Chains A and B, each alone.
Chain A
Amino acid sequence: MGEEKSTISAKQSKGRVIFIAVGLLTLLLLFSFIAYKRLRLDTFISCVGLIVSLYGLVVTIWQLLLIRSSAELTEKAIINTSERIETILSVSDVSKAVALSRQVIENLSDKKYELARFRLCEVKDVLVKVLCVPSIVCDEKEIKRTVQHIEVHISSLDKQVNNISEINLVTIGQDIEKMVKLLVSIETNLRINTNG
């Protein structure tokens, strides 16, 4: 961001120097020409007018090009910033999901199945969100697979809450541990990207 700002201001100051130099050079050439040809006053005025108009046109075109490149640089800077913000937000979301997953394990061992279900839904939301952020580099297949497993566990918790069938704590516990590992690796990658 700071680098792009300095590029824009360097271009502007360079432009100013060239503008003044070319202006002085033109005036010098104009006066030399007038002195050499000994022109009449009306011809002299129209010559000056023509040169000033052409000079103005060139400067305008040049300024327009400069503004366009500044706009492009600003747009790039905005995209970079929004990607960075997305990554920072995702790091906090993934950290939250890790904490939530651990709470799910606690809730399961305390037989608080409704709470566990609610938290598992939140973890699933985070993973779905991670899939939707293009700036996050992660194993998409593995995340999709984990989301499918979470769906099965949510459905199992539903059955447990509604007394339809008992939950298998060993299977769900092992799966959540795997999920925590995946989340931690995503979090680490995100942190590396943010700091890098």
Chain B
Amino acid sequence: MDEKEALIQELIKQTEDGKLEWTHSSSENEYALELSSALFTISYEFCPDYAAFCYIVNMHNGTGAPIEIVREVARTEDTCQSNLLYRLFIDARESCVKENKTIREALSELKNL
């Protein structure tokens, strides 16, 4: 396992444990994570080079242009197990929007009425 893959897996693990807080980026379908060493973004966007939608993780360390860490083409059969970046994107969105958490809380609130 190379360093980049290790980084992605660590990001997934820490996000799922709720230790990392992703925020909305200035682009649609993009989430940002601020660490003291660098700022990471994960986006779901159309890549003209692949003529397909891709998941892209970029790193911004303030020294110039963003550094692309990894890029993967999104597939229709993507699941959390098959594609790391898909999983990270879903986790980042959940960390930012808290959709599932809010639904669960609302559901339990409704049940306790």
Q: Which residues of A are in contact with B by a Cβ distance under 8 Å?
A: 128, 141, 144-145, 147-149, 151-153, 155-157, 159-160, 164-168, 171-172, 175
**The 3 A-B residue pairs with the shortest CB-CB distance in the complex, in nearest-first order:** A156-B27, A172-B26, A148-B39
On whether the beta carbons of A168 and B62 are closer than 8 Å, the reply is no
Query: What is the total of A-B residue contacts with beta carbons within 8 Å?
Result: 66
Within 8 A of A (CB), among B52-76: 58, 60-62, 64-66
User: 20 A-B residue contacts at CB 8 Å?
Assistant: A144-B62, A145-B39, A148-B61, A148-B62, A151-B39, A151-B64, A152-B25, A152-B41, A155-B41, A155-B66, A156-B25, A164-B45, A164-B46, A164-B48, A165-B43, A167-B27, A167-B28, A171-B24, A172-B26, A175-B26
Please tell me if the beta carbons of B38 and A155 are within 8 angstroms of each other in the complex.
no
Measured CA separation A96–B24 after assembly (Å): 28
Q: How far is the CA of A165 from the CA of B47 in the complex (A)?
A: 10
| With A148-B60, A151-B65 as contacts: A156 and B26 at CB distance below 8 Å | yes
Distance in angstroms from B74 CB to nearest chain A CB is: 14
Measured as residues with beta carbon below 8 angstroms from the partner, the interface class of chain B is: 20 to 34
Supplied contacts A148-B34, A167-B28, 14 more A-B pairs, CB within 8 Å: A141-B36, A148-B61, A152-B27, A152-B41, A155-B27, A155-B66, A164-B48, A165-B43, A165-B46, A167-B26, A167-B27, A168-B28, A171-B24, A171-B26
Given the known interface contacts A147-B62, A165-B43, the answer about A152 and B32 at a Cβ–Cβ threshold of 8 Å is: yes
